[in-house]
Amino acid sequence: MRLIPVLLSTVVAVATLAPAISFAQLDSVGEGRRVWLKYNCSGCHGNNAAGGMGPNVQHAERGDVTEAMNGDAREGGMRSFAGIAKPKDAANIAAYLATIGTAKEPKWLDWWNPIP
């Protein structure tokens, strides 16, 4: 029972501090990497987007990414991010995917850091 007050105080502290964190605006590639990690795309498409449970999406075009993100999961594909993803997320992910395997590819792992 002593654990409940500790948990409650932790939740309150996190809720209080969370709005104070602001993320540095990155270029479209960096924002794409941030969204790729945040939405856990690598869980299905692999760490380098070469495929896993989901298909290889390295160098996928913006239209394909948009269609996949807003698709209908009932068709047996990936879950839909319609209503979750921001308007620029698909374009940013496509920009990130275009850099995979190049010197411009960002490699950081912590999307939640304000400045990765």
**Residue 42's domain is classified under what CATH number?**
1.10.760.10
| Tens digits of residue pLDDT in 3-43 | 565 555 554 544 444 455 567 788 999 999 999 999 999 99
Global pTM exceeds 0.85: no
Domain assignment present for residue 21? The answer is: no
Domain assignment present for residue 46? The answer is: yes
Q: How far is CA 116 from CA 14, 24, 33, 108, 109, in A?
A: 20, 9, 10, 6, 8
Give me the number of domains the chain comprises: 1
> Given pLDDT bands bounded at 50, 70 and 90, which one contains residue 108?
confident
Q: What percent of the chain has pLDDT over 90?
A: 55
Domain assignment present for residue 8? The answer is: no
| Residue 97 burial (C-beta neighbours within 10 Å; 0-12, 13-18, 19+) | buried
- What pLDDT does 107 receive? 87
Domain, as residue range, for 83: 27-110
Domain assignment present for residue 7? The answer is: no
Q: What are phi and psi of 2, to 5 degrees?
A: -70, -15
Domain assignment present for residue 1? The answer is: no
